[in-house]
Amino acid sequence: MAELVLSKVDKIYRSRKGDVHAVRSLDLTVAPGEIVALLGASGCGKTSTLRMIAGFEEVTNGQIVLGGKPIHALPPAARGVAMAFEAYSLYPPLTIGENMSFALKASKLPQAEQNTRVKAMAEMLEIADILNRYPSSVSGGQQQRASLGRALVRDAGLYLLDEPMGQLEPQLRAVLRGRIKHYLREHKCTTILVTHDQTEANALADRIAVMEGGVLQQYATPAELKVRPANLFTGTFIGEPPMNVFSAEVKAVADMVRFDVEGGTTLSYPAAEISEPLRAKLARTPRVALGIRPHALHLGEGPVRGKVMACQWLGDQTHVAVEVGGRTVVSVSQERVSRQPGSDVSLAVAARDLHLFDPETGMAIAHGGSLA
């Protein structure tokens, strides 16, 4: 258990074809015992960051400090980090059990203690029955769990998990998420998890670092990311289904605030529902990008009119795609609703569910009627 601090970390891959700036001036602090997810699409720099912390990639600029000690110049083995690889990287000539106990061999733990640990870990990950098999004879999902187990079973200052559950079946994944989170908490493991799956990040992490284009977009709790996205990227990236975004003109008239949305829809709210400072700001802002989460777009009476394109019931919720002024918007109901494709519907959205962004910079202006 140790604190990890990345300050002004850059990663530049130099090649004859030109330099690739994979990570830009990244500042990130992970508190002792905290679980942090690096979340982003492929190529966003999350894996480069993880590999720099592990020591497989050189840090171009900046420093990485673990438990008060700079580690970015140390070779990987001297850093005291445990890592689970996306590609498993199990040792083929060793059994699953031997793979898991391999890292413990170096520790001075008594043999019996090592065995108990491996066994307990294998039970948690539901691979106890394959401990004597070789990696090549088990499925990808089992190899992945073995790789995860090999990392977690060690005593390390920091645990790095690269897409640790990508190969698992959905049912098993849901169960293991809970168990792994519980384990990490109980052992107060400082953990960094790299994933492209926001459900996984939300379920496991205390804080999520959203990355895009090598730049940290926002570093906050899952709830904060959802309610107060710092910019348009996080706003549309976080949340399933993704946020609907429109370009809108602002007309602040005396006691009403009006948004003329592209495609001819108008949203009007009594001034009382919009905070005073925000109204002042809007008076100076002619155009905004208007973000509405699908769950906040309610079917029924409302100012937004359109035609149903698709209506899909998923058991515990219904997704309705509606064409409004040539654009497709998505509304989610928690109940089962049934609308025929082609039929007319109205949609409503409350002022408290609006997210406003600067259309040029993408930075958040307001969330739910008050300034960001």
- Length in residues, the chain: 372
Minimal distance, residue 295 CB to other proteins, in Å = 5
Say if residues 348 and 204 touch (Cβ distance below 8 Å): no
Give whichever of 236 and 265 is closer to other proteins, judged by the CB atom: 236
Total chain residues near other proteins (CB under 8 A): 44
* Binding of residue 323 to other proteins (CB under 8 A): no
Give whichever of 214 and 222 is closer to other proteins, judged by the CB atom: 222
Segment interacting with other proteins, rule: CB under 8 A, options 12-20, 82-90, 184-192, 325-333:
325-333
Residues 57-96 that bind other proteins (CB under 8 A): 57-58, 73, 75-76
* Residue 271 burial (CB count, 10 A): 14
Relative to beta strand 244-253, strand 287-292 is: antiparallel
* Binding of residue 129 to other proteins (CB under 8 A): no
CA pair distance 148, 89, nearest whole angstrom: 10
CA pair distance 2, 34, nearest whole angstrom: 9
Segment interacting with other proteins, rule: CB under 8 A, options 8-16, 152-160, 266-274, 313-321:
313-321
- Crossing angle, helix 111-124 and helix 140-152, to 10 degrees? 140
Minimal distance, residue 171 CB to other proteins, in Å = 6
Segment interacting with other proteins, rule: CB under 8 A, options 54-62, 105-113, 145-153, 156-164:
54-62
Residues 200-229 that bind other proteins (CB under 8 A): 202-203, 222-223
CA pair distance 6, 56, nearest whole angstrom: 16
For residue 105, give the 3-state DSSP assignment. helix
Q: Give the CA-trace dihedral at 344, 349, 354, 360, to 10 degrees.
A: 20
* Binding of residue 309 to other proteins (CB under 8 A): yes
Q: Is 148 left (phi over 0), alpha (psi -120 to 50) or beta?
A: alpha
* Residue 315 burial (CB count, 10 A): 6
* Residue 366 burial (CB count, 10 A): 22
* Binding of residue 328 to other proteins (CB under 8 A): yes
Give whichever of 223 and 254 is closer to other proteins, judged by the CB atom: 223
**What CA–CA distances, in Å, run from 275 to 7, 367, 371?**
37, 11, 8
Give whichever of 29 and 317 is closer to other proteins, judged by the CB atom: 317
Site map (CB under 8 A) of other proteins, residues 161-200, x = contact: --------xxx--x---------------------xxxx-
Segment interacting with other proteins, rule: CB under 8 A, options 4-12, 104-112, 119-127, 330-338:
330-338
What does the binding site for other proteins look like in residue numbers (CB under 8 A)? 41, 55-58, 73, 75-76, 139, 141, 169-171, 174, 196-199, 202-203, 222-223, 236-237, 239-242, 295, 309-310, 312-317, 319, 321, 328, 330, 332, 334, 341
